[in-house]
Amino acid sequence: MKRKGSQFILLTAMAAFVVAGGIYSCSKSTASLPKIGPYDNSNQVAASNLLAHWTFDGTANETISNTAPSGTHGSSFVTGVKGQALSLANGYILYPTIAALSSANAVGSFTVSAWVNTDNNGATVSSVFALTQAPSLQSDWNTGPITMYLETGHPKATDDTLVFHGAFSSWPNSTTRLGGDNINDYGVRGTDFQTVHGTNKWVHYVLRYDGAGSNIDIYANGVRVSNNNFRNRLTGTPPVGIGPVVSTVPTQVLIGALPNVNSGFPNSAAQVWQGFYTGMIDEVRVYNIAMQDSDIGYLYQLELAGR
């Protein structure tokens, strides 16, 4: 990860070191440190719109509601970007309903932010975060409101390029599903989308959907990397924007796996390209707004600095 002048000085002053592709930060008071944008620390960014937050600082509980997992597989804790992080060895964590995420209009617009550290495996995708339907309703892997994953089975295992893929589903009525996705792939590299050389190192991954504009975007390390041609999602004739996401309730959260029979969703068949996550995940945050580009950048910088 490259740093320019003043940014490098700031990180050095805060004793943040990049060592062998990992980020190790010392815990210090932020009271006397210069602001990054208008903020002293990451918890101040869009604070009033933060619905859920997983710090993984020695606990898998969702921090705001203190909701504990209903199921875990292959999980432990290691040093992360900011405090500790979740480490999954072909594992996942399933959560029961979290009230703030489980209303029809809870995530009409949304931003999901997470730090990921994994490798391409040449076989299966690596799911980071999914806001799912209830197990009795989830009929396929992508019918829940939010699906945020990495195409780690797409590039060769020796490739250092990460392919980010995110999707949303909306149910304006009980029988109609609308949705869309975006990816940093297809078309002209560097023009239509941006390459991310990010295997085996910490990368800040943000999926954003703007319900007003019907635009879905993906960011890596504060930069929009997703395909410009896929961002605006339309439906109907003549085509109009899909609009805000409407969720079926109740919802659940699944970290490290796609919702299928193997992760606790009996009506969603497991497919050969679906696996469990191997690697690390840290600082997962869910907001009920399409966060401004500037705030996505500030959140990246603050968490990178351990703040």
The predicted pLDDT at position 155 comes to: 83
Q: What's the structural domain count of the chain?
A: 1
With a cut of 80, say whether residue 295 has pLDDT above it.
Answer: yes
Q: What values do phi and psi take at 282, rounded to 5?
A: -145, 155
Determine what percent of the chain is predicted with pLDDT higher than 90: 88
Instruction: Give the CA dihedral 206, 262, 267, 218, nearest 10 degrees.
Output: 10
pLDDT tens by residue, 197-253? 999 999 999 999 999 999 999 999 999 999 999 999 999 999 999 999 999 999 999
Nearest residue to 58 (alpha-carbon basis) of 34, 79, 77, 33: 77
Nearest residue to 110 (alpha-carbon basis) of 292, 289, 246, 242: 289
> Which residues, other chains included, contact 127 with Cβ-Cβ below 8 Å and sequence gap of 6+?
92, 147, 148, 149, 150, 254, 255, 256, 257, 258, 274, 277
The predicted pLDDT at position 156 comes to: 82
With a cut of 90, say whether residue 4 has pLDDT above it.
Answer: no
Domain extent, residue 57, equals: 5-304
The predicted pLDDT at position 19 comes to: 31
The model's pTM: 0.89
- In angstroms, rounded to a whole number, what is the distance separating the alpha carbons of residues 217 and 174? 27
With a cut of 50, say whether residue 55 has pLDDT above it.
Answer: yes
pLDDT class for 30, splitting at 50, 70, 90?
low
The predicted pLDDT at position 142 comes to: 96
C-alpha 267: how far from chain center: 25
Q: How many residues does the chain have?
A: 307
DSSP class of residue 51 equals E
The predicted pLDDT at position 231 comes to: 97
pLDDT tens by residue, 261-288? 999 999 999 999 999 999 999 999 999 9
- In angstroms, rounded to a whole number, what is the distance separating the alpha carbons of residues 1 and 52? 28
Nearest residue to 144 (alpha-carbon basis) of 49, 54, 247, 267: 247
The predicted pLDDT at position 244 comes to: 98
CATH code (residue 70): 2.60.120.200
Q: What values do phi and psi take at 284, rounded to 5?
A: -85, 125
The predicted pLDDT at position 27 comes to: 42
As a whole number, mean pLDDT of residues 8-32 equals 39
